[in-house]
């Protein structure tokens, strides 16, 4: 069963208005060499992209970027580099998806229908290949076993291709953030703003919407009450005495 919190997170991402600098189809032509690098060494690319997404500050690192139940419970702060290596090698798919959610929630980037279709096709093909393999094991037969292996090979090829394109898409987006396509890179946000999806209000960092479109960027509501106030006032104030005590002299009920 999908929790209400997960549904709320998905609905929040539907309201994002920014777009990726390139879609999954265009990421190959955008940076072909990096896409080939992602094909032949995907865990290394996942490690580099996550570290770069965290502005090369590993003190910000949380397992799976805070999107999994185990996040924050694996003692990541003691050795973040080792934990990230373990994540990208043992949970490669989750590491790629977590970096994607990290960028989307920080910069309010929506996923287009084309990207959703490609990702959905990849997942469905993997499920079909798994079911077909189970049927081949139960029923048996050389022809069915061979067909199952071909289907699994096709699913693996699609998975590797989509992950490589997705990682290239993330790299291009980070290039955009760091000023490769513009004169000035974006400033590093505070640490507390790196916790994205579990916030009630989207952060104000990232790509601002165009002038006159979609309104003003979100901002945090002011603290209430202000930190300098003390509410309610002490009665009577411990460091003061009469006649400055509360209630004032002459007061009667």
The tens digit of pLDDT for each residue in 72-83 reads 888 888 899 999
Q: Across residues 202-225, what is the average pLDDT?
A: 41
Q: Across residues 155-184, what is the average pLDDT?
A: 89
The reported pLDDT for the residue numbered 138 is 87
The reported pLDDT for the residue numbered 168 is 96
Q: Is residue 216 part of a domain?
A: no
Asked whether the whole model's pTM tops 0.75, one would answer no
Q: Is residue 49 part of a domain?
A: yes
Domain that holds residue 170: 4-183
Q: Is residue 245 part of a domain?
A: no
The reported pLDDT for the residue numbered 158 is 93
| Total number of domains in the chain | 1
The tens digit of pLDDT for each residue in 8-55 reads 776 777 778 899 999 898 899 999 999 999 999 999 999 999 999 999
Q: Is residue 63 part of a domain?
A: yes
| Residue 5 predicted with pLDDT over 90 | no
Q: Is residue 215 part of a domain?
A: no
The tens digit of pLDDT for each residue in 97-135 reads 999 999 998 999 988 888 889 999 999 999 999 898 888
The three state secondary structure string of the chain is CCCHHHHHHHHHHHCCCECCCCCCCCHHHHCHHHHHHHHHCHHHHHHHHHHHHCCCCHHHCCHHHHCCCCCCCCCHHHCHHHHHHHHHHHCHHHHHHHHHHHHHHHHCECCCHHHHHHHHHHHHHHHHHHHHHHHHHHHCCHHHHHHHHHHHHHHHHHHHHHHHHHHHHHHHHHHHHCCCCCCCCCCCCCHHHHCCCCCCCCCCCCCCCCCCCCCCCCCCCCCCCCCCCCCCCCCCCCCCCCCCCCCCCCCCC
| Residue 253 predicted with pLDDT over 50 | no
The reported pLDDT for the residue numbered 186 is 58
- What's the Rg (C-alpha) of the chain? 25
| Residue 6 predicted with pLDDT over 80 | no
The whole-angstrom separation of Cα 112 and Cα 102 is 17
The reported pLDDT for the residue numbered 205 is 43
Q: Across residues 65-73, what is the average pLDDT?
A: 83
The reported pLDDT for the residue numbered 220 is 37
In the block, tokens 């699913």 appear at: 155
| Residue 212 predicted with pLDDT over 80 | no
Q: Is residue 172 part of a domain?
A: yes
Q: Is residue 249 part of a domain?
A: no
pLDDT > 70: percent of the chain: 68
Enumerate the β-bridge partners of residue 109. 18
The whole-angstrom separation of Cα 13 and Cα 109 is 8
Q: Is residue 125 part of a domain?
A: yes
Enumerate the β-bridge partners of residue 18. 109
The tens digit of pLDDT for each residue in 135-146 reads 888 887 778 888
Report the mean per-residue pLDDT for the chain: 76
């Amino acid at each position: 069963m999908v929790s209400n919190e997960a549904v709320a997170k998905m609905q929040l991402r539907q309201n994002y208005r920014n777009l990726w600098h390139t879609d999954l189809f265009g990421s190959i032509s955008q940076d072909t060499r990096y896409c080939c690098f992602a094909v032949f060494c995907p865990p290394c690319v996942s490690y580099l992209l996550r570290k770069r997404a965290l502005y090369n500050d590993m003190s910000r690192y949380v397992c799976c970027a805070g999107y999994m139940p185990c996040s924050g419970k694996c003692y990541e702060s003691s050795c973040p580099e080792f934990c990230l290596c373990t994540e990208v090698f043992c949970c490669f798919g989750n590491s790629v998806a977590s970096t994607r959610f990290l960028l989307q929630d920080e910069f309010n980037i929506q996923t287009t229908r084309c990207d959703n279709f490609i990702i959905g096709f990849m997942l469905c093909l993997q499920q079909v290949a798994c079911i077909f393999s189970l049927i081949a094991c139960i029923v048996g037969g050389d022809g069915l076993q061979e067909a199952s292996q071909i289907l699994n090979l096709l699913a693996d090829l699609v998975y590797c291709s989509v992950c490589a394109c997705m990682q290239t898409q993330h790299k291009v987006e980070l290039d955009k953030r760091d000023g490769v396509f513009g004169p000035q890179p974006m400033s590093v946000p505070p640490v507390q703003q790196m916790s994205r999806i579990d916030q009630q209000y989207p952060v104000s960092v990232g790509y601002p919407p165009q002038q006159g479109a979609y309104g003003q960027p979100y901002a945090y509501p002011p603290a209430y009450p202000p930190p300098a106030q003390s509410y309610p006032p002490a009665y009577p104030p411990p460091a003061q005495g009469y006649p400055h005590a509360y209630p004032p002299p002459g007061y009667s009920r």
